[in-house]
Amino acid sequence: GAVVSQHPSRVICKSGTSVKIECRSLDFQATTMFWYRQFPKKSLMLMATSNEGSKATYEQGVEKDKFLINHASLTLSTLTVTSAHPEDSSFYICSAARYNEQFFGPGTRLTVL
């Protein structure tokens, strides 16, 4: 149990376009989901905390207008990278909270050309 999926696993897009990444909790309901960004050989950096039915809470330095987060249901949160640029290329990981633990998705590799 406690499986989290992400879609797509890999995406390549042109600079200036928008990309949507989905995060789903498959077998449990999650009122809170998290979005992380992982740079090569670096730690996971928390971008934002997503709560179902309310606005996301962004970490300092994360542009909320560039990284739009929607948590419309208890099993789905989406991250939209708007007007993507090459510096947005990264590995994005979501997690869903259940009791006192976060369950992580497999990640999405975004490459912006």
Residue 95 contacts other proteins per CB under 8 A: yes
Residue 54 contacts other proteins per CB under 8 A: no
Q: Which residues pair with 103 in a beta bridge?
A: 96
> What distances in angstroms separate CA 46 from CA 14, 41, 51, 63, one per listed residue?
25, 16, 14, 13
Residue 106 contacts other proteins per CB under 8 A: yes
Which one of 43, 60, 86, 87 is in contact with other proteins (CB under 8 A)? Answer: 43
Q: How far apart are CA 84 and CA 66, in angstroms?
A: 8
Residue 102 contacts other proteins per CB under 8 A: yes
Contacts of 75 (CB under 8 A, 6+ apart): 24, 25, 26, 29, 30
Q: Tell me how many residues contact other proteins (CB under 8 A).
A: 24
* Closer to other proteins by Cβ: residue 78 or 95: 95
Q: How far apart are CA 22 and CA 24, in angstroms?
A: 7
* Closer to other proteins by Cβ: residue 34 or 58: 34
* Closer to other proteins by Cβ: residue 62 or 97: 97
